[in-house]
Structure 1
Amino acid sequence: MTTTPTASPASAPPALAWGSARLLAGTSEGRADLAAHRAAHGPTHPYDVHRLTMALEAVRLLGHGGAAFPVAAKLRATPAGRRTQVVVNGSEGEPASHKDRTLMRSAPHLILDGAIAVARAVDTRHVSVVVADPAAHASLTAAVRERDDARTVRIVRHAHGYVGGEIRAVTRALSGEPAVPPGRRVLPTVHGVGGHPTFASNVETFAQIGLLLSLGVDQFASVGAADEPGTTLLTVLGDLPHPALAAGAVLEIPTGLPLALLVGSAPGPVLIGGYHGTWLDGPGSLVLSRPSLRAAGAPLNAAVVARLPETTCPLGEVTAVAGWLAEQSTGQCGPCYFGLPAVARTLHQLLRGAAVEDQALARAGLLRGRGACAHPDGASTFVGSALAVLDEEIRVHRTHGHCGRPWQGVLPTDQEGGAR
């Protein structure tokens, strides 16, 4: 593993690469300005929509936000035209995740390379980058000023919370509407910003597109897993066996890395995917690629991987996050407004030793498939999988009213996030 430091604020985790850095290349001295970016990645070459789609398909690029949707299919579904919109979603509202903030702060030009390439391919100049983090906003604003081909790129402050960062909420906000999901399953490629077709994805996806334009198909696919070539960024937290990762980090890895190499092979609570993710009792034989993790029922989602140390109360960690998830409700549907607080209250009772695990599991299950967006579904998965993994921990709390360990806040619930 090689270390790649960035110029992130002290509250942010360091950035490291497992092997050779690709997305993080050129950031060892801090934020890569345009000259440093071109020295690391070289020039990009315009691709028409057909060539870009074929290249994306050849490397099997998936979205690096939550849904892991094939990027080539999304591009193919986006009508070309002067009113078509391109949206880079840099909201990253989950406190545990720092990967997109790291890219925006340290490698803004790689993101812009990808966004501008997509805009050219679909014959539009409408590119918007939405971002909540002030340091990331400053970095991207400076990057736009550093290059001639970004004069029409808008950098938009978007501090509307976790659910407000959902892509349909983002496109509504950019259209001058409330930053809440619309409650109907209309894709942005059909009806996005201002009612126009919109190609929208998260920050790392656009950086991956920029990297593909720099490396070409063969070199891009020369590392990583066969089902998802290349590298990917993770935010890692908790009790990890590598000294450099002990306090948490943003880590670039080749896809296909065995999970046990990262978190150790011992059993114990491991979270895959962040606060809409899945708890496992140890890494088993899982490997870190989106297709394989989805097939195993533990999607990578926000690309957060955490192993809880034995010094913290795991039920306390889960309860704190469940409370935070309840606070993120926009209040537009019952499962969020009533259901999530009810789940959080039941977990607090469980934490104090009440025999309410069946009630907690039932309440979490009632959230699924009933919300205006995926927030209740994600919270249900997080809580339900935790209850399954922490059955022995729950028995200890029921017997003694506590487990004897303090809650250390390994899983952050403050908006700044940060490593612990």
Structure 2
Amino acid sequence: MTGRNWAGNYAYHAPLIARPASRQELQELVAGADRVKALGSRHSFNDIADTEGTLAVLDLLDESISVDALNMTVTVSAGTRYGTLAAELNRQGFALHNLASLPHISVAGAVATATHGSGDANGNLATAVAGLEMVTADGGMLSARRGDAYFEGMVVALGALGIVTSLTLDIEPAFQVSQRVYEGLAWDEVLENFDEVTSSAYSVSLFTDWSGAAVQQAWFKSRAGDQRHGGGSSGFLGAVPATEARHPLPGVSGRNCTHQLGVPGPWSDRLAHFRMEFTPSKGDELQSEYLIPREHATDALRTMRSLSDMVTPLLLIGEIRTIAADQLWLSPNYDRDGIGLHFTWRQDQPAVQAVLPLLEAELAPFIARPHWGKLFDARAAAIRPMYPRLGDFMALAESLDPFGKFRNRFLERTVFGA
């Protein structure tokens, strides 16, 4: 028995679990396995990381963080958590371009599923990948670097090509960030001034349950020296600044969130929503997310508001973020700037699973690509037309893993199936 995921909604079915103590042991494990997958920080809400064979947990492998200041990159072991990496980079005077809302997730898992932060000009976390190393189906090692053939198909790979052991990421000089939360931003203002709202800070998140006349909270994360409005202490389009730290969930203390109230501090303590030293709640939430082209933003938001009667009773909170386009084949932002519609659901999986096909049908006109690591209903037949390079990815997987060693039920259902 290999336990459950972070949220407790999924029990892994793999009959075997292994903890290789070295890269060589991992290579031998993969070479001898019929089916194998890597299991990271267990923050996915579906069966993407499960297998009918052996789950390889890499927590015994050496954790390494190696900065190359000349080339402005960092090479990090795959299982390292972003919070650990961010703290060490900041200590050495460097930074990543962005962080997701949780710093507790592993680098390899977040990259493989195109997990993201927010910001009109900020690509998802996988866009920082300049190189990677992985164990392939025959137990060999494959290295790839940006610019290599097929590299853009290897980064967001859903674990279908091999087990990633290390990644090289772009870095930049460390920077300061101040974070402010505004409350009561009217929906009319959001819809009429969407571009102004999302461009008002380096990273913007809007929290809503889709009911009522206003967005409950707007989180503005501003880089030092940025003159955009998100760094100011006055109101914003009628919304008022919070006077104490806020949590995205109404009525929950903000003490476990990253520093707010406009106090400047390290990027590593501001770009995520939650502090690394705080372990988020377990067993009381589910998550879904859909990525939509930027040009459909306001229409999609109007559609979501019209679905409030269906969605709001199941929600703890929703979040709206923006993400820049990229060229990674299976990234939900492949070839398009987009917005993310994120749903943090109450822990009622039957009810959530029942509403997802209805929600996806309403969002279908906007070419809504689901987040690979969260709950969704769409199958391969619906997903395939959304990704122009998915056929190329399938061919790449066939060439690297001809016997389907790294495939599982998730991949057959969402990528390789009919």
The two structures have a TM-score, normalised by structure 1, of 0.26
Q: Which one has the bigger helix percentage?
A: 1
The two structures have a TM-score, normalised by structure 2, of 0.26
Q: Which one has the bigger strand percentage?
A: 2
